[in-house]
Amino acid sequence: MLMGDTCTRGCRFCSVKTSRAPPPLDPHEPEHTAEALSRWGLGYVVLTSVDRDDLADGGAAHFAETVRKIKHKAPGMLVEALTGDYAGDEAMVAMVARSGLDVYAHNVETVEALTPMVRDRRAGFGQSLRVLRWAKESREGVITKTSVMLGLGETEEQLWETLRGESLSSPLPFSSRNYLLTYRPQPSAPPTSTS
Ligand code: SF4
């Protein structure tokens, strides 16, 4: 996970530390990350990060630089970037999408109706869909990917609406993960459902 261990947001399902003013970025992180990954000889790597609303670019330049350095040191390594929404800034999304990555991932996390109860108030279902669309439009051939958690109380109809990508011009590839298995809910976490 890039850009530290402290996020400026506070999604209710997430146990990452949160602060309005996390420590500054480590300027050497892109180089050190690329160097370590190239030594490990991996074929596919997933990079993710905390959200950094305290930074003017949300950390987009730092993320993009990390991808570029990985591709420079290990051109054969496939890179998936699981990013934040960059506060809905299209230019920042494009910067990351054009960094040389292979897969641009950004999670909607849940169905639209449950979004306000599950995610930080600065996130939004529509905003996340725009992020994915901008990423797709920014570079020909880039693969976009998103995920939803199951068991938060979503109905089957809401889930199918989401999976069909009815808010988009075309469906997106989705994966699903089970909320109860993936996360240890915090005391403030939203209620779960097993139905
Ligand atoms: S933006 Fe990501 S890292 Fe930050 S609180 Fe939400 S899920 Fe956790």
pLDDT in tens for each of the 195 residues of the chain? Answer: 999 999 999 999 999 999 999 999 999 999 999 999 999 989 999 999 999 999 999 999 999 999 999 999 999 999 999 999 999 999 999 999 999 999 999 999 999 999 999 999 999 999 999 999 999 999 999 999 888 898 899 999 998 888 876 655 454 555 555 444 344 445 455 655 544
pLDDT of residue 163: 80
Contact 99, 68 (CB under 8 A): yes
* Whole-number pLDDT of residue 162: 85
Give the separation between CA 172 and CA 15, rounded to whole angstroms: 27
User: How far is 193 from 144, CA to CA, in rounded Å?
Assistant: 28
Q: Cα(29) to centroid of ligand 1, in Å? A: 20
Which pLDDT score is estimated for 166? 63
Q: How do 17-18 and 44-48 pair as beta strands?
A: unpaired
Q: What is the pLDDT of residue 161?
A: 85
Atom of ligand 1 nearest to the CA of 16: 8
Atom of ligand 1 nearest to the CA of 120: 6
- What is the C-alpha to C-alpha distance for residues 193 and 195, in angstroms, rounded to an integer? 6
Pocket test for ligand 1, best of 2, 8, 14 (most atoms within 8 A of CB): 14
Q: What pLDDT does residue 106 have?
A: 95
| Global pTM value | 0.88
Rg (Cα) of the chain, in Å, rounded?
A: 17
Q: What is the pLDDT of residue 181?
A: 37
What atom of ligand 1 comes closest to residue 50's alpha carbon?
A: 3
**CA 82–ligand 1 middle distance (angstroms):** 11
> Cβ contacts of residue 156 below 8 Å, gap of 6+?
none
Give 137 Cα–ligand 1 centroid separation in angstroms: 25
